[in-house]
Amino acid sequence: MASKSPINGNPGRLRRLLHSFGLVALGLSAGRAPAAAQSTDFKAASEAPAAWREYASRLQGAFQHQIEGDGDMSQWLVTFAAGREKDNKPLTFVVSASILPDGRMDRIAFDSSMDPELGGRLRPLLAAANAGTPPPDMLQPLRLRLRLRTPE
């Protein structure tokens, strides 16, 4: 059975919006302990092992699932993204996620470009995500550059 979006009774509009909530780049910082201080070491997505990229993709999907599951947040997010595009301010930000061995989020942080209201609304949803056990050798925190666009 197809899911129906709460957005204006238009099935799939939210799904199209969130599909554009895409992984633009993946960065991984050194430090195996989830709560370890951030290091200046960094590995670009193109240099990261396939297992790390696959895990980043799963985490992106888990983030998307958390947002889709909250109808009020979904509606607010569509409105917020549309307003940003109208003002010609693309919604791109970096999420840093420190992940525990069981896949739960230990810490979620955003870069300085994050809108404070959006960050406050997204943080608890993203913190509840679980993408499963991360690769044991994966550098942390996992940094995902995400971009949100309204459906065209």
The domain that holds 65 is classified in CATH as 3.30.1150
Tell me the percentage of the chain whose pLDDT exceeds 70: 67
Say if 35 falls within a structural domain. Answer: no
Q: How many structural domains are present in the chain?
A: 1
Tell me the percentage of the chain whose pLDDT exceeds 90: 32
Say if 83 falls within a structural domain. Answer: yes
The pLDDT confidence band at residue 5, using thresholds 50, 70 and 90, is very low
Please give the residue range of the domain that contains residue 142. 21-30+45-148
Query: Helix %, strand %, coil % for the chain, to 5?
Result: 40, 25, 40
Question: How far is 110 from 63, CA to CA, in rounded Å?
Answer: 14
Say if 57 falls within a structural domain. Answer: yes
Say if 49 falls within a structural domain. Answer: yes
Say if 97 falls within a structural domain. Answer: yes
Say if 133 falls within a structural domain. Answer: yes
Map tokens 């940094």 to a residue: 143
Q: Give the model's pLDDT for residue 90.
A: 66
Paired tokens of 79: 């409105």
Say if 26 falls within a structural domain. Answer: yes
Q: Give the model's pLDDT for residue 97.
A: 95
The pLDDT confidence band at residue 32, using thresholds 50, 70 and 90, is very low
Answering whether pTM is above 0.75, one says no
Say if 36 falls within a structural domain. Answer: no
For the beta carbon of residue 79, count every other beta carbon within 10 angstroms: 12
C-alpha angle 117/123/127, rounded to 5°? 170
Query: pLDDT tens-digit profile of 100-125?
Result: 999 999 999 999 888 898 899 899 98
